[in-house]
Structure 1
Amino acid sequence: MKTILNVIWLVLCGFWMCLGYLLAGLVLCVTIIGIPFGFAAFRIGLYALWPFGYTAIERPGAGAPSFVGNVLWVILAGWWLALGHVLTGVALCVTVIGIPLGLANFKLIPISLMPLGKEIVRTDQPFGMR
Protein backbone atom coordinates (compact mmCIF):
# COMPACT_ATOMS: atom_id res chain seq x y z
CA MET A 1 0.00 0.00 0.00
CA LYS A 2 2.90 2.37 0.77
CA THR A 3 4.24 1.90 -2.74
CA ILE A 4 0.89 2.65 -4.38
CA LEU A 5 0.43 5.79 -2.28
CA ASN A 6 4.01 6.89 -3.01
CA VAL A 7 3.54 6.50 -6.78
CA ILE A 8 0.27 8.46 -6.74
CA TRP A 9 1.93 11.04 -4.48
CA LEU A 10 4.90 11.34 -6.84
CA VAL A 11 2.66 12.07 -9.82
CA LEU A 12 0.26 14.49 -8.11
CA CYS A 13 2.51 16.59 -5.89
CA GLY A 14 5.71 14.87 -4.74
CA PHE A 15 7.75 15.74 -7.80
CA TRP A 16 6.74 19.40 -7.65
CA MET A 17 7.34 19.74 -3.92
CA CYS A 18 10.73 18.07 -4.33
CA LEU A 19 11.61 20.61 -7.03
CA GLY A 20 10.67 23.40 -4.62
CA TYR A 21 12.98 21.99 -1.97
CA LEU A 22 15.79 21.49 -4.48
CA LEU A 23 15.42 25.09 -5.68
CA ALA A 24 15.46 26.35 -2.09
CA GLY A 25 18.53 24.20 -1.39
CA LEU A 26 20.41 25.53 -4.39
CA VAL A 27 19.62 29.13 -3.49
CA LEU A 28 20.64 28.57 0.14
CA CYS A 29 23.92 26.89 -0.86
CA VAL A 30 25.07 30.06 -2.64
CA THR A 31 26.61 31.37 0.59
CA ILE A 32 28.80 29.47 3.04
CA ILE A 33 26.44 30.30 5.89
CA GLY A 34 23.49 28.87 3.95
CA ILE A 35 25.09 25.49 3.16
CA PRO A 36 23.68 23.68 6.25
CA PHE A 37 20.25 25.04 5.36
CA GLY A 38 20.69 23.88 1.77
CA PHE A 39 21.56 20.36 2.92
CA ALA A 40 18.45 20.37 5.13
CA ALA A 41 16.38 21.39 2.10
CA PHE A 42 17.85 18.55 0.03
CA ARG A 43 17.17 16.04 2.83
CA ILE A 44 13.56 17.14 3.19
CA GLY A 45 13.16 17.24 -0.59
CA LEU A 46 13.90 13.53 -0.75
CA TYR A 47 11.42 12.95 2.07
CA ALA A 48 8.81 15.02 0.21
CA LEU A 49 9.44 12.94 -2.91
CA TRP A 50 8.59 9.61 -1.24
CA PRO A 51 6.96 10.24 2.19
CA PHE A 52 4.94 7.08 2.86
CA GLY A 53 6.94 4.65 4.97
CA TYR A 54 9.07 7.36 6.58
CA THR A 55 8.60 9.71 9.51
CA ALA A 56 10.47 12.58 11.12
CA ILE A 57 11.61 12.28 14.73
CA GLU A 58 13.44 14.62 17.09
CA ARG A 59 17.21 14.11 17.03
CA PRO A 60 18.57 13.78 20.55
CA GLY A 61 21.15 16.36 21.47
CA ALA A 62 19.92 19.02 19.05
CA GLY A 63 19.74 22.05 21.28
CA ALA A 64 19.91 25.81 21.00
CA PRO A 65 21.87 25.92 17.71
CA SER A 66 19.07 23.97 16.02
CA PHE A 67 16.48 26.38 17.42
CA VAL A 68 18.39 29.43 16.15
CA GLY A 69 18.89 27.73 12.79
CA ASN A 70 15.18 26.93 12.59
CA VAL A 71 14.29 30.58 13.19
CA LEU A 72 16.55 31.57 10.29
CA TRP A 73 15.13 28.72 8.19
CA VAL A 74 11.55 29.94 8.67
CA ILE A 75 12.58 33.40 7.51
CA LEU A 76 14.64 32.22 4.52
CA ALA A 77 12.66 29.32 3.06
CA GLY A 78 10.40 27.53 5.51
CA TRP A 79 7.31 29.70 5.29
CA TRP A 80 6.84 29.37 1.53
CA LEU A 81 7.62 25.65 1.51
CA ALA A 82 5.03 25.15 4.26
CA LEU A 83 2.59 27.26 2.26
CA GLY A 84 3.13 24.92 -0.70
CA HIS A 85 2.24 21.96 1.52
CA VAL A 86 -0.88 23.71 2.81
CA LEU A 87 -2.11 24.60 -0.68
CA THR A 88 -1.46 21.17 -2.18
CA GLY A 89 -2.85 19.45 0.91
CA VAL A 90 -6.12 21.36 0.69
CA ALA A 91 -6.35 20.73 -3.06
CA LEU A 92 -5.79 17.00 -2.58
CA CYS A 93 -8.36 16.75 0.23
CA VAL A 94 -11.10 17.89 -2.15
CA THR A 95 -11.41 14.32 -3.48
CA VAL A 96 -11.91 11.18 -1.42
CA ILE A 97 -8.97 9.46 -3.09
CA GLY A 98 -6.72 12.45 -2.37
CA ILE A 99 -7.43 12.62 1.38
CA PRO A 100 -4.51 10.37 2.43
CA LEU A 101 -2.23 12.41 0.18
CA GLY A 102 -3.53 15.67 1.61
CA LEU A 103 -2.93 14.38 5.13
CA ALA A 104 0.62 13.45 4.13
CA ASN A 105 1.11 17.03 2.95
CA PHE A 106 -0.10 18.29 6.32
CA LYS A 107 2.32 15.86 8.01
CA LEU A 108 5.19 17.53 6.15
CA ILE A 109 4.33 21.07 7.33
CA PRO A 110 6.12 20.88 10.72
CA ILE A 111 9.35 19.58 9.20
CA SER A 112 9.17 22.12 6.38
CA LEU A 113 8.97 24.87 9.01
CA MET A 114 11.58 23.53 11.45
CA PRO A 115 13.84 20.88 9.85
CA LEU A 116 16.97 21.30 11.95
CA GLY A 117 17.14 18.92 14.89
CA LYS A 118 14.96 16.35 13.13
CA GLU A 119 15.88 13.02 11.60
CA ILE A 120 13.96 11.15 8.89
CA VAL A 121 13.68 7.42 9.59
CA ARG A 122 11.81 4.47 8.14
CA THR A 123 8.60 3.60 9.97
CA ASP A 124 9.33 -0.12 9.84
CA GLN A 125 12.61 0.17 11.78
CA PRO A 126 12.59 -1.11 15.34
CA PHE A 127 12.49 1.72 17.87
CA GLY A 128 15.96 0.89 19.23
CA MET A 129 17.52 1.34 15.77
CA ARG A 130 16.46 5.00 15.47
Structure 2
Amino acid sequence: MKTLLNLIWLVLSGFWMWLAYMFVGILWCITVVGIPFGIASFRIGFFALWPFGRQVVKKPTAGAGSAIGNIFWFILSGIWLAIGHAFTGVLLCITVIGIPLGLANFKMIEVSLMPLGRDIVPNRDVNSAFASGAA
Protein backbone atom coordinates (compact mmCIF):
# COMPACT_ATOMS: atom_id res chain seq x y z
CA MET A 1 0.00 0.00 0.00
CA LYS A 2 2.81 2.43 0.82
CA THR A 3 4.31 1.89 -2.65
CA LEU A 4 0.99 2.81 -4.27
CA LEU A 5 0.68 5.90 -2.06
CA ASN A 6 4.28 6.88 -2.88
CA LEU A 7 3.66 6.55 -6.62
CA ILE A 8 0.51 8.69 -6.47
CA TRP A 9 2.35 11.14 -4.20
CA LEU A 10 5.27 11.31 -6.63
CA VAL A 11 3.04 12.45 -9.48
CA LEU A 12 0.73 14.81 -7.58
CA SER A 13 3.05 16.44 -5.06
CA GLY A 14 6.37 14.75 -4.43
CA PHE A 15 8.18 15.62 -7.64
CA TRP A 16 7.24 19.30 -7.45
CA MET A 17 8.23 19.65 -3.81
CA TRP A 18 11.44 17.72 -4.52
CA LEU A 19 12.28 20.28 -7.22
CA ALA A 20 11.66 23.11 -4.75
CA TYR A 21 13.94 21.50 -2.14
CA MET A 22 16.67 20.86 -4.73
CA PHE A 23 16.50 24.48 -5.92
CA VAL A 24 16.73 25.77 -2.33
CA GLY A 25 19.59 23.35 -1.59
CA ILE A 26 21.57 24.54 -4.60
CA LEU A 27 21.08 28.16 -3.55
CA TRP A 28 22.29 27.36 -0.03
CA CYS A 29 25.34 25.50 -1.36
CA ILE A 30 26.54 28.53 -3.34
CA THR A 31 28.19 29.79 -0.15
CA VAL A 32 30.45 27.75 2.11
CA VAL A 33 28.47 28.81 5.18
CA GLY A 34 25.24 27.57 3.62
CA ILE A 35 26.43 24.05 2.78
CA PRO A 36 24.95 22.43 5.93
CA PHE A 37 21.62 24.05 5.07
CA GLY A 38 21.89 22.81 1.49
CA ILE A 39 22.57 19.27 2.68
CA ALA A 40 19.53 19.46 4.98
CA SER A 41 17.45 20.68 2.04
CA PHE A 42 18.59 17.77 -0.14
CA ARG A 43 17.88 15.29 2.68
CA ILE A 44 14.37 16.59 3.30
CA GLY A 45 13.81 16.90 -0.45
CA PHE A 46 14.40 13.19 -0.98
CA PHE A 47 12.04 12.52 1.92
CA ALA A 48 9.43 14.73 0.21
CA LEU A 49 9.93 12.73 -2.98
CA TRP A 50 9.09 9.33 -1.38
CA PRO A 51 7.73 9.86 2.18
CA PHE A 52 5.51 6.89 2.96
CA GLY A 53 7.29 4.23 4.99
CA ARG A 54 9.63 6.75 6.68
CA GLN A 55 9.32 9.23 9.53
CA VAL A 56 11.16 12.24 10.82
CA VAL A 57 12.56 12.01 14.36
CA LYS A 58 14.57 14.45 16.44
CA LYS A 59 18.29 13.75 16.70
CA PRO A 60 19.45 13.26 20.29
CA THR A 61 22.73 15.03 19.51
CA ALA A 62 21.12 18.21 18.16
CA GLY A 63 22.00 21.24 20.19
CA ALA A 64 22.02 25.01 20.14
CA GLY A 65 23.65 25.10 16.70
CA SER A 66 20.65 23.36 15.17
CA ALA A 67 18.27 25.74 16.92
CA ILE A 68 20.14 28.82 15.68
CA GLY A 69 20.45 27.34 12.19
CA ASN A 70 16.72 26.64 12.12
CA ILE A 71 16.04 30.34 12.72
CA PHE A 72 18.04 31.28 9.62
CA TRP A 73 16.43 28.42 7.67
CA PHE A 74 12.93 29.47 8.74
CA ILE A 75 13.41 33.05 7.55
CA LEU A 76 15.23 32.35 4.29
CA SER A 77 13.75 29.05 3.08
CA GLY A 78 11.43 27.30 5.50
CA ILE A 79 8.46 29.59 5.25
CA TRP A 80 8.40 29.30 1.44
CA LEU A 81 8.66 25.52 1.46
CA ALA A 82 5.98 25.32 4.15
CA ILE A 83 3.69 27.45 1.98
CA GLY A 84 4.33 24.99 -0.87
CA HIS A 85 3.34 22.05 1.35
CA ALA A 86 0.25 23.88 2.60
CA PHE A 87 -0.82 24.83 -0.94
CA THR A 88 -0.39 21.33 -2.35
CA GLY A 89 -2.02 19.86 0.76
CA VAL A 90 -5.13 21.98 0.26
CA LEU A 91 -5.29 21.06 -3.43
CA LEU A 92 -4.97 17.35 -2.61
CA CYS A 93 -7.67 17.52 0.07
CA ILE A 94 -10.23 18.76 -2.46
CA THR A 95 -10.76 15.16 -3.61
CA VAL A 96 -11.62 12.25 -1.33
CA ILE A 97 -8.82 10.13 -2.76
CA GLY A 98 -6.29 12.92 -2.19
CA ILE A 99 -7.11 13.47 1.49
CA PRO A 100 -4.42 11.07 2.86
CA LEU A 101 -1.85 12.73 0.60
CA GLY A 102 -2.97 16.19 1.64
CA LEU A 103 -2.68 15.25 5.31
CA ALA A 104 0.82 13.91 4.64
CA ASN A 105 1.71 17.27 3.10
CA PHE A 106 0.46 19.06 6.21
CA LYS A 107 2.61 16.78 8.40
CA MET A 108 5.68 17.74 6.34
CA ILE A 109 5.23 21.42 7.16
CA GLU A 110 6.97 21.00 10.52
CA VAL A 111 10.12 19.50 9.04
CA SER A 112 10.11 22.03 6.19
CA LEU A 113 10.18 24.83 8.76
CA MET A 114 12.89 23.33 10.99
CA PRO A 115 14.93 20.57 9.32
CA LEU A 116 18.14 20.87 11.32
CA GLY A 117 18.38 18.49 14.24
CA ARG A 118 16.06 15.99 12.58
CA ASP A 119 16.72 12.59 11.05
CA ILE A 120 14.70 10.49 8.62
CA VAL A 121 14.32 6.83 9.55
CA PRO A 122 12.31 3.91 8.17
CA ASN A 123 9.12 3.20 10.12
CA ARG A 124 10.57 -0.08 11.37
CA ASP A 125 13.44 1.86 13.03
CA VAL A 126 11.28 4.48 14.76
CA ASN A 127 11.00 2.54 18.01
CA SER A 128 14.77 2.19 18.27
CA ALA A 129 15.15 5.91 17.52
CA PHE A 130 12.76 6.72 20.36
CA ALA A 131 14.48 4.27 22.69
CA SER A 132 17.83 6.01 22.10
CA GLY A 133 16.29 9.36 23.01
CA ALA A 134 15.90 10.73 19.51
CA ALA A 135 12.38 12.05 20.11
Q: What interval of TM-score do these two structures reach, taking the shorter chain for normalisation?
A: over 0.9
4+ long deviations beyond 6 Å:
none
TM-score (ref. length: structure 2)? 0.93
Tell me, in whole angstroms, the C-alpha distance in 2 between the residues paired with 1:125 and 1:119: 11
**Pairs aligned (count):** 130
CA drift of 1:126 comes to 5.9
In structure 2, the partner of 1:115 is 115
Unaligned runs of 5+ in 1: none
In structure 1, the partner of 2:42 is 42
Query: Is contact 2:78-2:113 (8 Å) kept?
Result: yes
TM-score (ref. length: structure 1)? 0.97
In structure 2, the partner of 1:124 is 124
In structure 2, the partner of 1:59 is 59
Tell me, in whole angstroms, the C-alpha distance in 2 between the residues paired with 1:52 and 1:126: 13
Secondary structure of residue in 1 paired with 2:124: coil
In structure 1, the partner of 2:69 is 69
Tell me, in whole angstroms, the C-alpha distance in 2 between the residues paired with 1:64 and 1:31: 22
Q: 1:126 to 1:57 in 2, by over 3 A?
A: closer
Secondary structure of residue in 2 paired with 1:96: coil
Secondary structure of residue in 1 paired with 2:96: coil
